[in-house]
Structure 1
Amino acid sequence: MTSTRHQTALHFIQAFETLSVDTFLSLQTPTCQHIFAPASLSVPPKNNAAFAAHIAGIKQLMEGFPVTAKEVIDSQGSNQVVVWATSETRFRDEVKDTGIPEDEWAYKGEYLFVFTMDESGEKIERVLEFLDSKKTKDTLGPLMARARGNKARIEGDKFVSN
């Protein structure tokens, strides 16, 4: 039998499947902070509103970002859950182009999440998310930039043709 803490943490990572802002927010306390590490990524901590905007921006480019738990450590003593996970991006077809092979659009990442829970274990007070900084900067960042550029170009073409 898994704890409420454990279940809440897994629900959070499962929300990446559909990038549901509502699901993420329903699992977080009103004062939840999402911190991205390492610091070399220079991503500022995000409160709920900033995290919701972050997810909404990703959802414009991706159908989903499935995250799969490889290992889960549930600590009753610290009221924390640690999840070692992997992911694969599912960019929307309309933001991809043939300049990058299809298999490269399916970026595979690795993460470590540390969830600090409220007393009930039903809500997350703090998320510390460690990303593979080299791969995020060298691979995912350029893919996201290219997808954003393609989206802007497509939207510009639609505006011109109307």
Structure 2
Amino acid sequence: MADHSALRATLKKTATDFIDCCNKYTVDAVLSLRTDTCKHTHLPSSLGIPTYSKTEYGAFYGQYVGLMSDCSCRIVDEKEMVVDVESRKVVMYTKAKANTPLGEYENEYMWILTMTGDGKMIEDIVEFCDSAKAVELVKKQQAQMNA
């Protein structure tokens, strides 16, 4: 049972480290805990964002690094974090906030992270956001570009 408890603690630490990396708001930091074969899926699928490889996600994420400042992401309640040792998955609910030239941006996310066997790296990411907030930001960006 000690191995089970240790792996659970490692999975939880990797998940919280992932959020810490998001708060550094650099491409290198956001990619640092991903395996080379890590896939990143955005949901809902109605957003039309494809599943990205690690390299593709770095390019996608890099588009937003200069757009936002004072970014912060936080786990809403660590007690509500779901850690499944057998499947090496962690599910967590987060809230994010950032400043943009178009005003403040806030959103909510559910993350499903699948880790490596030792729990120290991320093999797969499913990110589910409040799509209305994401679409609102994109519409503001497009309006500014067309103005």
| Deviations, residues 11-49 of structure 1 (Å, cap 9, x unaligned) | 112222231221222200100000000111110001111
Equivalent-residue separation in structure 2 for 1:47 and 1:133 (angstroms): 21
Where does residue 55 of structure 1 map in the other structure? 61
Equivalent-residue separation in structure 1 for 2:36 and 2:83 (angstroms): 23
- SS at 1:142 equivalent: helix
Q: 1:76 to 1:144 in 2, by over 3 A?
A: farther
Equivalent-residue separation in structure 2 for 1:143 and 1:70 (angstroms): 27
Q: Across the two proteins, how many residue pairs are aligned to each other?
A: 138
Equivalent-residue separation in structure 1 for 2:59 and 2:35 (angstroms): 17
Q: Is the 8 A contact 2:14 2:120 kept in 1?
A: yes
Where does residue 122 of structure 2 map in the other structure? 124
Alignment match of 1:11 (pick from 3, 17, 20): 17
Where does residue 105 of structure 2 map in the other structure? 107
Structure 2, unpaired ranges of 5+: 1-5
- SS at 2:51 equivalent: coil
- With normalisation by structure 2, the TM-score equals 0.83
Where does residue 157 of structure 1 map in the other structure? none
Structure 1, unpaired ranges of 5+: 154-162
Equivalent-residue separation in structure 2 for 1:11 and 1:141 (angstroms): 28
Where does residue 156 of structure 1 map in the other structure? none
Residue 140, structure 1, aligned to residue 144, structure 2: no
Q: 1:143 to 1:67 in 2, by over 3 A?
A: farther
Equivalent-residue separation in structure 2 for 1:82 and 1:8 (angstroms): 12
Q: Is the 8 A contact 2:106 2:133 kept in 1?
A: no
- SS at 2:90 equivalent: strand
Where does residue 34 of structure 1 map in the other structure? 40
Which stretches of structure 1, 4 residues or more, deviate above 4 A after TM superposition? none
Rg (Cα) greater in structure: 1
Where does residue 158 of structure 1 map in the other structure? none
- With normalisation by structure 1, the TM-score equals 0.76
Equivalent-residue separation in structure 1 for 2:10 and 2:32 (angstroms): 14
Alignment match of 1:81 (pick from 85, 90, 104): 90
